[in-house]
Amino acid sequence: MFHLAAVVSKVTGKYLFYKDYWAKYQDRDPFFNFFTAYIPFVARENENTYKLIHWDKLRIAFGNFNEIIMILAATLDTSDKLIETYLIRAYEMLFNIYGDLSNGELIPEKIAEFSQGLELMIRVSATNEDLKQLDHTVEERHGVTPASEEVNRRTTQHSEQATKLLEQFAVEMLDGTITKYRLFLTAAVRVKEAIHYQVIVDFSPYPHPPVFDLPQVLHNILGDAGEALETIRGWDPIHPPNWMEVVQELEQKVYKSETHLIEPIIEEPASPVKGKGFAKNLKMPTRKEPRGIPYPQTQPQPPPNAHKMPETKEVPFLASIPPEIEKKRKKEKKKEISCPNCGFIFKSKDDKTCQLCGSPRPE
């Protein structure tokens, strides 16, 4: 992270600009003395180059740009690449605001514009942990500190981004915070077939890139999210993309992620089908290899010690009735006499007439 910035004119040797953005280094005289002693050596170097010096637990970068020396002080863990990027962007911003710097003066009305732009860059360079430490180490905390101002600004950013994200995507908020979510994403393999993934994304570092937790299967397909997503590869913390852009790109990547893993489908000519309509032109796709667990080619046999169900036994019917009972039943059946007129069966030998129609009992 960066702490302070200064601009010195090579024409006049005057300090055109100086600011400690976190209000941590109240005494600027030691810095001025060190800068003044080292600037002549930097000015003799080739233009559009910079030098890095370790001093007082800081990395001091001196950029030699045509008419000025741009100075940035950063913590020891700040990378060379980030320092170089900030030096160039700070000079470009200054040049775009002022144009000609050959007179060695900065117009007071435009200094505020440059300072505000540079302040945004420097404040963005701090992580959330940096801000917490800064807010505890500032000696004079009268009301709001620069660190707490930045925390409030980021909190507002997070709230705005979270509201839009929740409105547009199927997400689940995690850990009771508006910056961490579980995304429910779908990879469409083909019609009526899809694979679903759950991805954890943490936006708490914002305006720095979010942190992703991909399932191993999806990680094997996409690789690292920082390399797979263009929004992450080209991330600019000064002007970061919004959360919706990140999630939308990830959603599209996941949606298409399975297509390159699908085994080729070969359409073979179908045999003629009788009938009318589209059925006669239907071609069923066949795979070279079955997906998932292949069907067994032969009927699996149970192991020798498998439990066997008891054999089924038939229930005895008429074939098992004792012969004497069956003989008696047939004999009684032969003796049955029915009415020739209505079919009523005479139940007793004493019945001389039919009980239904009154016809005489046949002999």
Mean pLDDT value across residues 285-299: 42
For the chain, the average pLDDT equals 76
277 pLDDT above the threshold of 90: no
**How buried is 163 (Cβ within 10 angstroms: 0-12 exposed, 13-18 middle, 19+ buried)?**
exposed
170 pLDDT above the threshold of 90: no
- Token pair of 51 as six digits: 């030098």
What's the confidence (pLDDT) of residue 142? 52
What's the confidence (pLDDT) of residue 169? 86
Mean pLDDT value across residues 63-76: 90
59 pLDDT above the threshold of 90: yes
355 pLDDT above the threshold of 50: yes
Mean pLDDT value across residues 17-40: 88
What's the confidence (pLDDT) of residue 181? 94
Mean pLDDT value across residues 220-234: 88
What's the confidence (pLDDT) of residue 258? 60
What's the confidence (pLDDT) of residue 312? 39
Specify the 3-state DSSP secondary structure of 204: coil
What's the confidence (pLDDT) of residue 28? 86
Q: Per residue in 179-220, pLDDT tens?
A: 999 998 887 655 566 788 899 999 999 999 999 999 988 888
What's the confidence (pLDDT) of residue 213? 92
What's the confidence (pLDDT) of residue 279? 34
Res. 176 pLDDT band, cuts 50 70 90: confident
Mean pLDDT value across residues 27-49: 88
What's the confidence (pLDDT) of residue 144? 65
Lowest mean pLDDT among 46-50, 170-174, 249-253, 272-276: 272-276
The DSSP bridge partners found for residue 203 are none
pTM assigned to the model: 0.61
The whole-angstrom separation of Cα 350 and Cα 342 is 19
- Which residue blocks in the chain are alpha helix, DSSP H? 29-43, 80-98, 108-124, 128-137, 146-168, 216-222, 225-228, 230-233, 243-255, 323-335
What's the confidence (pLDDT) of residue 197? 86
% of residues, the chain, pLDDT over 90: 23
Q: Per residue in 82-134, pLDDT tens?
A: 999 999 999 888 888 887 777 767 777 788 888 888 988 999 999 888 888 87
Mean pLDDT value across residues 303-323: 45
Mean pLDDT value across residues 286-294: 42
**Which of the two residues, 42 and 305, has the higher pLDDT score?**
42
Tell me the C-alpha to C-alpha distance, in Å, between residue 286 and each of 189, 269, 290, 297.
Answer: 16, 10, 9, 17
Measured in whole angstroms, how far is the alpha carbon of residue 75 from the centre of its chain?
33
What's the confidence (pLDDT) of residue 189? 59
Res. 136 pLDDT band, cuts 50 70 90: low
Q: Per residue in 203-214, pLDDT tens?
A: 999 999 999 999
**Which of the two residues, 22 and 276, has the higher pLDDT score?**
22
Task: Give helix then strand counts, H and E, for the chain.
Answer: 10, 13
